[in-house]
Amino acid sequence: MSSGEVIISPPHMVGTKLQVENLNVIFTRDGKSTAVLQDINLEVSEGEFVCLVGPSGCGKSTLLNTLGGFLSPTSGTVSIDGEVVRGPDPRRIFVFQERGVFPWLTVEGNIGFGLFKLAHSERQVRIAHYVKMVGLGGFEDAYPSELSGGMKQRLEVARALAVNPDMLYLDEPFGALDSITRHTMRGELLRIWETERKTIVFVTHDIDEAVQLADRVVVMSARPAVIQQIVKIDIPHPRDISSPRYLELRDGILQQIGLAHKI
Amino acid sequence: MNPLAEPNKWERLLWPMLASALLLVLWHYAVLWSGTKVLPSPLQVERGMLELLYKNVLWQDIGSSLRRVAIGFGAATALGIPLGLILGWYPAANQIVNPVMQILRPISPIAWIPVAIILFGVGDNAAVFLIFLGAFFPIVVACVNGVSNVPLFYRRAGRNFGLMPAQLLTRVVFPAALPQIIIGLRMALGIAWLVVVAAEMVAVDSGLGYLVIDARNSGKRYDLVVAAMITIGVVGLALDSGFRRLEAIKSIRWGFGK
């Protein structure tokens, strides 16, 4: 690693933020039950960035929806700060792909959506702050249909951050973006994470993305999903994506999922 | 001609006008050549129209018809939207009410005329009731569909930000369903305008529908009949294009792919 690189201190892993214990999720449809998640155990520390990867349809999104409180576990528990999760909560915001922004509200309206309990003046200050943070200055009165995919995604992240949550759940947030925009967005997300220090759980099917972003990568198996392996990414940010260590970690995960890294 | 070519502004005006002019010419010569004494030519209709305008009949009748539509359609909107939102919100309630609605919906409001007269007597109320019936069901159905088509992730996002059910309905579900509701309202307004004419032919003695039937009954004035028909068409078109302007509102037009 070159000596001129700025090394950002690792996240303050004060304590356990999220704890998943013996989690099982079984879907029942037409009298047939399918096990989706099987005996998941996971701990995420305060301020940590964790990526969930696995083959498509394996249940990563189901796990994230269960963490977010949108699905109830069949057995086992999800707890945050020692408190069992019973439903969605503004302290933990779920970010969908960019389609989650409300098309009937302007950029300002979207960012201010969750701030209805604040006084008007305070709300305006918050909105202005996050408009600036995600680089949407000048687009305050624009509607989502007038924005590009990357801008919509930034808008949704801003809407989530505006309510000052402790945690963000991101469900393949950059999946619908082109590869150049996706690349920029990863940088933006890391920048925001480094300033705001939220605990992030990020679902992706892109292993490179996971290795570039996460402190730890949770590798899940095909359905019924179990946690196959948890890989600690011990490369400081900004990460050199052609370094031997990066390639080693990435190839290790590819192998774990059963993908040969030759096409 | 390239079918994808966007016509020029003047072309978009010219061709429709030319088509209308051609139709008038055809009509004129059809009357002339057939030698009919009953059906009026365009010029006779124009004179009839002017006569109605001078006698101040036309504006009064337009006013009466619009007033009935405003009351009937307004009541259908005021009752239909909340009912539709509730039924869309509680699918269990919708399952109970839906069969009854699906039977009532295809019954033409015209078939209700005898019932309307028994209930309200011959008069304004009967006409307004018929308009209400014609507009009510399309509005309810559009709302139910609009609400049940709201994508799950909008509702989830709303719940995630801590919205109570009532807030979720007004701040997420209603605006998300609004484009579809607008389409339903526009359809309902079109039906209301069809029904008012029919209702005025039997129940009242004012309005454009009455004008049509009265012009025929009192002296077989077919020039006035056709003049009234054309007025009905023009006012209906104006109502519809007025309503279409709602689709351009910025918080709605996303639902129309604009």
The tens digit of pLDDT for each residue in A210-236 reads 999 999 999 998 888 889 889 898 888
Which CATH fold would you assign to the domain B39-256?
Answer: MetI-like fold (1.10.3720)
Cα–Cα distance measured from residue A129 to residue A115, given in angstroms and rounded to the nearest whole number = 13
* pLDDT for the residue B56: 84
Whether residue B3 is preceded by a cis peptide bond, meaning omega within 30 degrees of 0, is no
Residue A235 tokens, joined: 């490369």
pLDDT at B18: 93
Instruction: Name the region of A23 (left: φ>0; alpha: ψ -120 to 50; beta: rest).
Output: beta
pLDDT of res. A257: 81
How much is the average pLDDT of B220-245? 92
Return mean pLDDT, chain A: 87
Mean pLDDT of B166-180: 93
Residues A33-41: what's their mean pLDDT? 90
Chain A residue with CA closest to B258: the answer is: A145
For B131, how many CA atoms within 13 A lie in the half-sphere containing its CB? 27
**Under an 8 A CB cutoff, do B156 and A88 touch?**
yes
CA A92, CA A67: separation in Å to the nearest integer? 9
pLDDT band at B139 (very low <50, low <70, confident <90, very high): very high
| Mean pLDDT value of segment A61-83 | 91
Say what the pLDDT of residue B193 is: 96
Q: What confidence category does residue B3 fall into, taking pLDDT thresholds of 50, 70 and 90? A: low
Choose, out of A104, A118, A140, A171, the residue to mutate when testing the contact with B (most B CBs < 10 Å): A104
Residue B9 has pLDDT above 80, yes or no: no
Instruction: Output the six-digit token pair for A260.
Output: 């040969």
From residue B247, alpha-carbon distances to B140, B197, B255 in Å are 19, 27, 8
Strands of the sheet containing A75-80, edge to edge, are: A32-45, A16-29, A75-80, A83-84
pTM of the model: 0.84
Q: Which residues of A touch B (CB under 8 A)?
A: 68, 70, 87-90, 92-94, 96, 99-100, 102-105, 113-114, 116, 143-145, 163
Count residue pairs from A and B with Cβ separation < 8 A. Answer: 54
User: Are A113 and A87 in contact, with CB atoms under 8 Å apart?
Assistant: no
Task: Count Cα atoms within 13 angstroms, Cβ side, for B192.
Answer: 32
Per-residue pLDDT at A99 exceeds 90: no
* Tokens read off for B219: 């002296």
Return the DSSP state at A101.
S
- Residue A51 pLDDT > 70: yes
Between helix B174-202 and helix B208-217 the angle, nearest 10°, is 20
3-state secondary structure of A39: strand
- Rounded mean pLDDT of chain B? 91
Q: Higher model confidence: residue B100 or residue A258?
A: B100
Interface contact flag, B154 A102, Cβ < 8 Å: yes
Give the residue extent of every domain in chain B.
39-256
Residue from the list A87, A96, A143 with its beta carbon closest to the beta carbon of B254: A143
